[in-house]
Amino acid sequence: MAGERKLTMSEAVREAMTLEMRRDPKVFLAGEDIGIIGGAFGVTGKMIEEFGPERMMNTPISETAIAGIGVGAAAAGYRPIVEIMFSDFIGIAMDEIANQAAKMRYMFGGKAKIPMVVRTACGAGVSGAGQHSQTLEAWVTHIPGLKVVYPSNSYDAKGLLISSIRDDNPVIFFEHKFIYGISSDCPEGEYTIPIGQAKLLREGKDATVIAWGLMVHRAAKAAANLEKQGINVDVIDIRSLVPLDTAAIIKSVKKTGRAVIVQEAYRTSGFAGEISAIISEEAFSSLKGPIIRVTSPNTTIPLSPILENEFLPSPEKIEAAVLKLVKLV
């Protein structure tokens, strides 16, 4: 809506946490440098002035300890938001996340709830090089018991984070570093967005383009370029990987008959492969051509901005994939 208040995604994330901490005294934050420094990306800036060090817990540089704080506190009735500074280091905390947080509710017959949010910055495009630029959402989508959320804009980040904090299950919340500084509409006050509900950004009849995170922005740009050539596509921002809005994807693919899935992550065993399999199982007879994945290659992310730009899926690569499908028929 024209005239809507605009926030950057980092501001929207901060506002969501602030609102929930004011609403519920059992919500607290824990992570490296989140207090006075405000986090590596400034997301928690000045929150310590309102909530103090008891609810803004600066931790040692130990992802294992950070996740462990979250699991224990959640099991004891709190609603922790723990920050893993870079998603590249989420593997250090995988025992706590995959074997404890994800399984405790099941292992205790539903008597234990783990209302825990793991916020983690991810993604390339900021010259972070190979160890600070990955987007590893596929790792955690494989673990039953975890919800996985990956917003592409300020409005969704705020609404989905509030929903995640209020959820009684552990949620892995990916925040793309490149999107932190992008402003978009974000209204004041509390609102929630259901976890597991995709968003149709553009409507078309010629193909379906499915994306999440930064790739939503690039898919939208590709769609705008295609429209100038008389080709109109559905662009779906899945927003939530687990649970996944399968119905929205299948409905669109059955309408268009063509599917392009865009992921920033490495190609092999990425979440795009899971979506491709679902389409093949549930909409195969509607397809007019092969499902195409537009992904990053299976190689370490380069530091050089020129090479990094070539490494990532681009609007031009997405556009080429759609054109290839449309020209098949």
Residue 112 and residue 85 in contact, taking contact as beta carbons nearer than 8 Å: no
CATH architecture of 199-326: 3-Layer(aba) Sandwich (3.40)
**6-185 and 199-326 agree in CATH topology:** yes
Mean pLDDT of the chain, nearest integer: 96
Active site residue 132: yes
Write out pLDDT tens, residues 265-318. Answer: 999 999 999 999 999 999 999 999 999 999 999 999 999 999 999 999 999 999
Cα–Cα distance measured from residue 37 to residue 45, given in angstroms and rounded to the nearest whole number: 7
Structural domain boundaries in the chain? 6-185, 199-326
pLDDT reported for residue 71: 98
pTM of the model: 0.96
Q: Provide mean pLDDT across the span 134-147.
A: 97
Cα–Cα distance measured from residue 193 to residue 77, given in angstroms and rounded to the nearest whole number: 23
Q: Provide mean pLDDT across the span 46-67.
A: 96
For 229, the token pair is: 């050539």
**268 C-beta neighbours (distance < 10 Å), count:** 10
pLDDT reported for residue 8: 97
pLDDT reported for residue 4: 79
Phi, psi of 211 (to 5 degrees): -155, 175
Write out pLDDT tens, residues 235-254. Answer: 999 999 999 999 999 999 99
Q: How far is CA 113 from CA 25, 110, 116, 145, in A?
A: 17, 7, 9, 11
> CA nearest 25: which of 59, 51, 57?
51
The SS3 assignment for 33 reads coil
Residue 2 has pLDDT above 80, yes or no: no
Sign of CA dihedral 194, 15, 64, 176: positive
Q: Where are the beta strands (DSSP E) in 42-137?
A: 56-58, 79-86, 117-122
Write out pLDDT tens, residues 157-172. Answer: 999 999 999 999 999 9
pLDDT reported for residue 3: 56
Domain 6-185, CATH: 3.40.50.970
Q: pLDDT grade, residue 328 (50/70/90)?
A: low
Residue 199 has pLDDT above 90, yes or no: yes
Query: Largest Cα–Cα distance of the chain, in whole Å?
Result: 62
pLDDT reported for residue 324: 95
> CA nearest 25: which of 78, 98, 83?
78
For strands 240-242 and 147-149, give the pairing: antiparallel
Residue 215 and residue 314 in contact, taking contact as beta carbons nearer than 8 Å: no
pLDDT reported for residue 220: 98
Percent of the chain whose pLDDT exceeds 70: 98
Residue 136 has pLDDT above 70, yes or no: yes
User: Which one of the listed residues 132, 142, 176, 217 is annotated catalytic?
Assistant: 132
pLDDT reported for residue 1: 44
